[in-house]
Chain A
Amino acid sequence: MPSKLDYLDLLESESIHIMREVAGQFERPALLFSGGKDSITLVQLALKAFKPGKIPFPLVHIDTGHNFPEALEYRDRLADELGAKLIVRKVEDTIKARGLKEPVGKFASRNALQSYTLLDTIEEFGFDACIGGARRDEEKARAKERIFSVRDEFGQWDPKKQRPELWNLYNGKIAKGENVRVFPISNWVELDVWNYIKREGIELPSIYFTHEREVLVHGEFLVAMSEFIRVDEGDVIEKRKVRYRTVGDMTCTAAVESTANNIDDIIGEINRTNISERGETRIDDQVSEAAMEDRKKNGYF
């Protein structure tokens, strides 16, 4: 009998199978790439799925204009190294072209506006499938999402109309105008991603490791100082040793205090922490119990 597969081998195999289903079932797929650890993992899985060939779809980045420079630098370098096609579309341009109103307030985020740019990009290139790095363990609304998640022509997710997903059979059949969001790492949890990054020796943007940074101390959140942050009277700004547990926009992603400068230490810290990934880092989820559910219904991935 063959040797037993490790849980990471099993997760990897499932994800590769999903990547190949996308390539086999769709005409114009794309991989949504943000420069965060989850989408970096996706790219590595896509590489493995199609070796020795190249990844048969472009990487697409919806740039909010509020990204960490380190993540953007990493994005460009990776695309370059892989010889992959990189498509960047800016939320800024959508705001101008469509006269969208920017949210205002202390940690106003362009998260919701991102959906407009994404939908425009899908239309521009005629993408029929977009691969994303969402995981079911992240959030309650995600826990019920399918691996192949069909969106209508407005990009909307209707939780009550989801297709049953049985065995390893994925139904990517759609009408014109519809598209499918595909989540190959649905069944991975945060630590699975970190353990995989460690095992595969995957390089990450430097902000995932400890560095000294000027942060605005907002209750339990440490928010990186940048031109996008509104400073009010009485705000406490300090230099702290921090790293990022998740990488989103500078406006709404908080850092965690840490001296971890290697993957082992990060895994150790995540093992010991008693706060969830989104709870510790996502200011935008704290609005209501159903913040994510509402965003997803409006086309968010």
Chain B
Amino acid sequence: MDLLRFITAGSVDDGKSTLIGRLLYDTDSIKVDQLATIQKQSKNKGEGEIDLALFTDGLRAEREQGITIDVAYKYFNTEKRKFIIADAPGHIQYTRNMVTGASNSDLIIILIDARLGVIEQTRRHSIIASLLQIPHVVVTINKMDMVDFSEEVYNNIVIEYSKIAKQLNIKDVKFIPISALLGDNIVNASDNTPWYKGDTLLHLLENINLSHDINYTEPRFPVQYVIRPQTDDLHDYRGYAGKVISGTYRKGDLVTVLPDGIDSIVEAVEINGEEVDEVFAPQSAVIRLKDDIDINRGDIIVNKSNLPNVSQDIETTLCWMDTRPMVTGNKYLLQVQSKRVRCIIKEINYKLDVNTLEKIENVDQVGLNDVVHVTLKTASSVVFDSYNSLRANGGAILIDETAHTTVAGCMLQ
């Protein structure tokens, strides 16, 4: 059994909550007492039937307003996989939440209302999926029951969406005609769509190949913590604790510690205090080096034959996530893996219209949910990869120096 993290993009109107409720319900992930609570709530709201969408409403404020404010995480599993759903709201005023949910996802389900076809929101969700480099896209064409399960409607949407996918360079796209409300093609193949020969949604989620999503060729090991027991029998022990975010490490590897650029050789790789032959992404491990060099949290151990960028001048696309606007010339903290450095926003190059991909120049104001391209200058060298070539080491956040809040998610270039 392995693990798939996915995000669902759409609004309540597209049946997103119903779809999640349906997946949980049909995989027996909802227990009787939870069902009873939902039944009670459905009655309170004056709805006759059980409203599957209620399973995804977390906070009272959301239940009262009938909306989702925040990213909620839901879990279910089948024999084949454990699934983590990031349930994020789809409206433009919640772009920040969608970016957050998308950052950790292996796959995105984009919901399209069969009656409406491809709309502005579809385009926006796809742009975010491509910005965040989500490896797999599944387009579910929902409410097929309301268009008489028409193959023609389905085909037209497939043609229309394929153009977007091509424009955004989204490589792995699959389409499924569904009815979340009635359960067609969710867990069981539908009799209403005999013309559809593809997988059901669950079958696809269970079988999509994830092994190519991990990069095993560019070793990156950010040091989180230095283990120094300083006991009698481990007097000289010095282990660097961290997570292999990409690539593999073995004893004897020639490595460089960045940003200082000090070379060494791997003495041992360990998991759970025991030496192993190899550690690989995404394992948490300990690396010991032959030379006694000064390595701290924030440093990154890489293979000498494959070096990342080391720079103080960084170009990045970012999504602004704070209610207070971004200010050019202001200082923030940039966090890349375990490294935090002060930085200044030198220049806003352009704003990206997330509905159209249009670049807007001469931007003077950057507010909540805006996606912009900026140039940063950092106080010291930062080690990173381009997000588009190595997702695991290209993501970063900006932290407000005085309020300490996370104000932006960055895709470094």
How far, in Å, is A237 (CB) from chain B's closest CB? Answer: 25
Q: Assess whether B395 is in contact with A140, with CB atoms less than 8 Å apart.
A: no
Q: How far is the CA of A192 from the CA of B84 in the complex (A)?
A: 13
- Assuming A54-B229, A166-B395, is B282 touching A186 (CB within 8 A)? no
Closest 6 CB pairs of A and B: A51-B273, A279-B33, A16-B284, A2-B280, A276-B31, A166-B103
For B31, list chain A residues within 8 Å (CB): 273-276, 279
Extra 20 A-B pairs, beta carbons < 8 Å, given A144-B58, A273-B31: A1-B216, A5-B2, A5-B282, A6-B1, A20-B224, A20-B242, A20-B284, A21-B338, A48-B273, A51-B270, A53-B228, A136-B73, A140-B57, A143-B73, A165-B406, A166-B99, A166-B104, A171-B335, A171-B399, A289-B37
| Contact flags B226-245 to A (C-beta < 8 A → 1, else 0) | 01110000100101011101
Query: Can you list, as one digit per residue, whether each of B247-291 has a CB less than 8 Å from chain A (1) or not (0)?
Result: 010000000000000000000001011000010101110100000
In the complex formed, the residue of A with least CB distance to B244 is: A13
Partner of B216, one of A2, A5, A175, A290: A2
Decide: A137 near B103, CB < 8 A? Known: A50-B241, A169-B337.
no
Interface residues of chain B: helix, strand, loop or mixed (majority): mixed
Q: Is B74 an interface residue (CB 8 A)?
A: yes
Given contacts A24-B297, A144-B70, contact A2 B406 (CB under 8 A): no
Shortest CB-to-CB span from A300 to chain B, Å, is 15
B84-106 vs A: 1/0 string, CB under 8 Å? 10000000000011011001100
Chain A residues near B41 (CB-CB < 8 A) = 289
In the assembled complex, which residues on chain A have CB atoms less than 8 Å from the CB atom of B245? Answer: 168
Interface centre among A51, A53, A293 (most CB of B within 10 A): A53
Nearest neighbor of A271 in chain B, beta-carbon distance? B28
The interface residues of chain B lying within 8 Å CB-to-CB of A166 are 99-100, 103-104, 395, 397, 406, 409
Mark interface residues in A134-176 (1 if CB within 8 Å of B CB, else 0). Answer: 0011001101100000000000000110111111110101110
Is A4 at the interface (CB under 8 A from chain B)?
yes
Closest to B217 in A: A1
Contact of B397 among A171, A189, A276 (CB under 8 A): A171
Question: Which residues of B lie under 8 Å from residue A192 when comparing CB positions?
Answer: 82
A49 CB-CB contact with B under 8 Å = yes
B60 at the interface (CB under 8 A from A): yes
A227 to chain B, nearest CB (A): 29
The answer to whether the Cβ of B144 comes within 8 Å of any Cβ in the partner chain is: no
Instruction: Given A5-B282, A143-B72, decide whether A10 and B409 contact each other with a Cβ distance below 8 A.
Output: no
Are A24 and B99 in touch, CB under 8 angstroms?
A: no
Write the residues of chain B forming the contact surface with A, with a CB cutoff of 8 angstroms: 1-3, 31-34, 37, 41, 57-61, 63, 69-75, 77, 81-82, 84, 96-97, 99-100, 103-104, 211, 216, 224-225, 227-229, 234, 237, 239, 241-243, 245, 248, 270, 272-273, 278, 280, 282-284, 286, 297, 321, 333, 335, 337-338, 395-397, 399, 404-406, 409
Q: How far is the CB of B97 from chain A (nearest CB, A)?
A: 8
Total A-B pairs in contact (CB under 8 Å)? 170
Q: Are A10 and B100 in contact (CB under 8 A)?
A: no
A204 sits at the interface (CB 8 A): no
Return 21 A-B CB contacts under 8 Å, by A number: A2-B278, A7-B3, A13-B282, A20-B225, A20-B242, A21-B224, A23-B224, A49-B241, A50-B225, A51-B227, A143-B74, A144-B58, A162-B70, A166-B409, A168-B243, A169-B337, A169-B397, A173-B333, A187-B73, A192-B82, A289-B41
Report the Cα distance A143→B284, complex, angstroms.
25
Please tell me which one of the listed residues B216, B242, B321 contacts residue A164 in the complex, with CB atoms under 8 A apart: B321
A174-196, CB under 8 A of B: which get 1 and which 0? Answer: 11000000000011010110000
A167 and B104 in contact, given A50-B241, A289-B37 (Cβ under 8 angstroms): yes
In the complex, what distance in Å separates the CA atom of A192 from the CA atom of B63?
Answer: 29
- Collect the chain A residues with CB atoms within 8 Å of residue B242's CB: 20
What is the minimal beta-carbon distance from A207 to any residue of chain B, in angstroms?
A: 22
**In contact, B58 and A140 (Cβ under 8 angstroms):** yes
- Interchain CA distance A17-B406 in the complex, whole Å: 20
- The 8 A CB mask of A13-28 against B (1 = contact, 0 = none) is 1101100110110000
* A269: interface (CB < 8 Å): no
Q: In the complex, which residues of chain B have a beta carbon less than 8 angstroms from the beta carbon of A197?
A: none
> With a CB–CB cut-off of 8 A, which chain A residues contact B61?
159-160
- Known A52-B234, A53-B227, A290-B60; contact A7-B406, beta-carbon cutoff 8 A: no
- CB pair A140–B59 under 8 Å, yes or no, is yes
A11 within 8 A of B: yes
Report the separation of the CA atoms of residues A20 and B270 in the bound assembly, to the nearest whole angstrom.
15
Task: Tell me, in angstroms, the Cα distance from A195 to B1 when the chains sit together.
Answer: 12
A257 at interface, CB cutoff 8 A: no
Instruction: Using CB atoms, name the residue of chain A closest to B41.
Output: A289
Find chain A residues with CB under 8 A from B100 CB: 164-166
By the criterion CB–CB under 8 Å, are B33 and A24 in contact?
no
- Measured between beta carbons, the chain A residues less than 8 angstroms from B335 are 169, 171
Task: Select the residue from B33, B211, B278, B284 with max chain A CB neighbours within 10 A.
Answer: B284
A17 contact from B72, B84, B284, Cβ within 8 A: B284
Complex: A192 Cα to B395 Cα, angstroms: 29
CA distance A289 to B62 in the complex (A): 13
Interface residue? A73 (CB, 8 A): no
Of B104, B284, B333, which one neighbours A13 at CB under 8 angstroms? Answer: B284
Q: Enumerate chain B residues within 8 angstroms of A144, measured Cβ to Cβ.
A: 58-59, 70-73
Pairwise interchain contact A189-B406, C-beta atoms closer than 8 A: no
**CB-based nearest A residue for B97:** A164
Q: Return chain A residues, CB-CB under 8 Å to B3.
A: 7, 10-11
